[in-house]
Structure 1
């Protein structure tokens, strides 16, 4: 049993994470960042939930780059093969659920 106050979580570096749970190879992690990530494709599906801040999610669909601004409470689902990159607008805290060891 644990309680996590996500609004007060910080990390020593961008995309630093707090491991919350590993359920049969599916990890749940709380990330803190103030910098963009990198373009990537996960090894499986990914659920990306903005808990604090704003994140511009960029993704490629049919060879075209798309952008969407994610606000607190918004969820981005990356299906297998979705190339994407997160660009926080200032400080953001993000809950990520994905296969263990994914990029």
Structure 2
């Protein structure tokens, strides 16, 4: 049993994470960041939940870049092959559920 107070979690550098669970190869991590990530495509599906802050999620759909503003409580689902990059607006805390070893 574990209780995590996500608003208290702060990393030493952007995209530091706190591993929460690994359920048969699917990981759940709490991330803290104040800087964009990098364009990437995950090895599988990804669920990206904004727990605190705001994030501009840039993603490509039919080779065209789209941007969605995600607020606290919003969820972004990246299906297999979705190229995307998260740009926090200030500090953000994000819960990420994805295949183990995914970038």
TM-score (norm 2): 1.00
The alignment's C-alpha RMSD in Å is 0.2
Aligned to 2:69: 69
Structure 1 unaligned blocks of 5 or more: none
Is 1:10 the equivalent of 2:10? yes
- Structure 2 match to 1:43: 43
Count of equivalent residues: 103
Matched residue of 1:77: which SS?
strand
Q: What TM-score do the two structures reach when normalised by structure 1?
A: 1.00
Distance 1:29 1:68 in 2: 22
- Which 4+ residue blocks in structure 1 deviate beyond 3 angstroms? none
Q: Distance in 2 between matches of 1:24 and 1:13?
A: 28
2:2 counterpart SS class: coil
